[in-house]
């Protein structure tokens, strides 16, 4: 399968400035830029990085840009209101965080990492207006969707700074074309308006043709909302914001309606492999084989083999409600302590006291009531007994759950 066929099958093609997709099949040099309004990428950003991975795997030279300069202004794309400006120190912190994640994502590929602050820091305002601004028509700019939306009747408006963002991004492409030989810019479809600035600027200044390619925004087919938002907020690549276990469990919980498309977007698994996974999944969807394959592959890409295995093991323990041999897996035990409430208790402790200590119950009376109604589960089995016994512990551990919701699980360690 050629690169263009692979990207088409996976659903990566949205807007493009070239007519024939076969143009992609001759490796050249492309770039992908990242806003640094946060110190971490989220899984919405991850999708376009997977597009970049496919290009890199197919032999394209890869330039990855972090927006140390553009992030000081703020990208108006996809925003209804003006962004709050961030300090230079905060942007520098964010750039460092994004750079670290990019290096992990492309650890197995050759790439060059650049920061647009390096070429903007010494550029004067008059120089920018003469070399860049002179090549843009106001008539064209105000007609772009993301600007027109902000300038329409009843809209919040747009500052000159954010209005100029598109010109800054256009110059990025020009600079990278001149210094790195870049001929393709990629991004999400919400960036298409900004992406349209670079190619015409290069054509006007050099007479050369370069191109842009966007991928569609990924939408949850069940909720209709932009993918990557959970009830608690964004799903981050930074393990300090979203732990590897939480990250793994997010993918395990993907709806059947979305799992095949996510396997195509978020993994490097082959067409044959994905089709085999979906065929097996369709035979017994309750086993969630496709979700397991998805969670394993994406967590491996983002957090590495070791953290993926820990996340998988912790999830299996919580789902199966069995402590098993956790004592022989200190990383799993430590991760489990972070993921669910934990406490220590004697092997003859009153269950009501333990349930209150874990926070599963707000009072002893609530605990006793739930125990009487068989609504408390000990190692996955309903229990109504008043006290623990030594036999309840496996390697000095046991799991308690309130009701059938897995997140209401706590770890008990024997004193």
How many residues can be counted in the chain?
Answer: 415
C-alpha to C-alpha distance for 412 and 349, rounded to whole angstroms: 11
- Rounded to an integer, the average pLDDT of 337-362 is 93
C-alpha to C-alpha distance for 210 and 212, rounded to whole angstroms: 7
* pLDDT higher at 191 or 248: 248
Give the pairing of strands 229-230 and 233-234. Answer: antiparallel
Residue 257, both tokens = 């309606």
Residue from 387, 401, 255, 259 nearest 317 by CA: 401
Cβ-based neighbours of 317, under 8 Å, separated by 6 or more:
323, 324, 326, 332, 336, 399
Structure confidence by residue, pLDDT tens digits, 16-43: 999 999 999 999 999 999 989 899 999 9
C-alpha to C-alpha distance for 224 and 97, rounded to whole angstroms: 30
C-alpha to C-alpha distance for 394 and 412, rounded to whole angstroms: 10
Residue 369, both tokens = 């009531």
The pLDDT score that the predictor gives to residue 140 is 76
In order, the DSSP letters of 117-161 are HHHHTT--HHHHHHHTGGG--HHHHHHSHHHHHHHSTTS----HH
Instruction: Please report how the helices 289-320 and 330-339 are oriented relative to each other, as an axis angle in degrees rounded to 10.
Output: 90
The pLDDT score that the predictor gives to residue 7 is 98
Contact 88, 38 (CB under 8 A): no
> Which residue reads 């996976």 in tokens?
10
SS3 label, residue 61: strand
Contact 380, 323 (CB under 8 A): no
Confidence of residue 143 (pLDDT cuts 50, 70, 90): confident
Contact 243, 274 (CB under 8 A): no
The pLDDT score that the predictor gives to residue 403 is 92
Cβ-based neighbours of 357, under 8 Å, separated by 6 or more:
343, 345
C-alpha to C-alpha distance for 4 and 21, rounded to whole angstroms: 6
The pLDDT score that the predictor gives to residue 154 is 65
In order, the DSSP letters of 83-127 are PPPPPHHHHHHHHHHHHHHHHHHTTTS--EEEETHHHHTT--HHH
C-alpha to C-alpha distance for 326 and 315, rounded to whole angstroms: 12
Confidence of residue 78 (pLDDT cuts 50, 70, 90): low
Mean pLDDT lowest among 111-115, 228-232, 350-354: 228-232
Give, in degrees to the nearest 5, the angle at Cα 112 between 111 and 115: 140
Cβ-based neighbours of 14, under 8 Å, separated by 6 or more:
189, 192, 213, 214, 215, 216
Structure confidence by residue, pLDDT tens digits, 178-210: 999 999 999 999 889 889 999 999 999 999 999
Where does 178-328 show beta strands of DSSP type E?
184-188, 211-215, 229-230, 233-234
Contact 410, 399 (CB under 8 A): yes
Whole-structure pTM value: 0.88
Mean pLDDT lowest among 85-94, 219-228, 274-283: 219-228
């Amino acid at each position: 399968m050629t690169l263009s066929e692979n990207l088409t099958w996976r659903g990566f093609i949205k807007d493009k400035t070239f007519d024939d997709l076969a143009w992609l099949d001759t490796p050249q040099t492309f770039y992908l830029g990242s806003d640094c309004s946060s110190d971490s990428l989220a899984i919405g950003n991850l999708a376009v990085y997977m597009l970049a991975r496919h290009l890199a795997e197919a032999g394209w030279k890869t330039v990855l840009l972090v927006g140390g300069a553009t992030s000081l202004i703020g990208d108006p794309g996809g925003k209804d209101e003006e962004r709050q400006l961030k300090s230079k120190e905060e942007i520098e912190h964010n750039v460092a965080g994004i750079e670290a994640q990019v290096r992990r994502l492309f650890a197995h590929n050759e790439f060059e990492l650049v920061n647009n602050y390096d070429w903007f820091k010494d550029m004067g305002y008059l120089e920018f207006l003469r070399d860049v601004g002179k090549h843009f028509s106001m008539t064209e700019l105000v007609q772009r969707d993301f600007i027109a939306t902000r300038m329409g009747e009843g809209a919040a408006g747009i500052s000159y700074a954010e209005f100029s963002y598109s010109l800054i991004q256009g110059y990025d492409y020009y600079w990278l074309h001149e210094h790195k030989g870049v001929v393709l810019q990629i991004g999400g479809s919400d960036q298409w308006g900004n992406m349209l600035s670079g190619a015409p600027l290069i054509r006007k200044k050099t007479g050369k043709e370069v191109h842009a390619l966007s991928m569609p925004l990924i939408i949850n087919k069940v909720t209709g909302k932009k993918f990557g938002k959970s009830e608690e907020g964004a799903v981050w690549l930074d393990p300090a914001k979203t732990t590897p276990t939480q990250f793994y469990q997010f993918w395990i919980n993907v709806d059947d309606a979305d799992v095949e498309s996510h396997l195509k977007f978020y993994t490097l698994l082959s067409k044959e492999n994905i089709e085999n996974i979906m065929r097996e999944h369709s035979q017994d969807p309750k086993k969630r084989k496709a979700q397991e394959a998805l969670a394993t592959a994406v967590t491996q890409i983002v957090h590495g083999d070791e953290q993926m295995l820990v996340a998988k093991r912790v999830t299996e323990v919580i789902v199966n409600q069995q402590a098993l041999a956790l004592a022989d897996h200190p990383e799993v035990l430590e991760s489990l302590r972070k993921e669910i409430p934990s406490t220590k208790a004697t092997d003859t402790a009153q269950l009501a006291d333990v349930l209150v200590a874990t926070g599963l119950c707000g009072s002893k009376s609530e605990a006793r009531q739930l125990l009487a109604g068989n609504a408390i589960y000990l190692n996955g089995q309903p229990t109504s007994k008043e006290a623990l016994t030594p036999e309840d512990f496996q390697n000095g551990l046991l799991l308690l759950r309130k009701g059938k919701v897995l997140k209401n699980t706590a770890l008990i360690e024997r004193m």
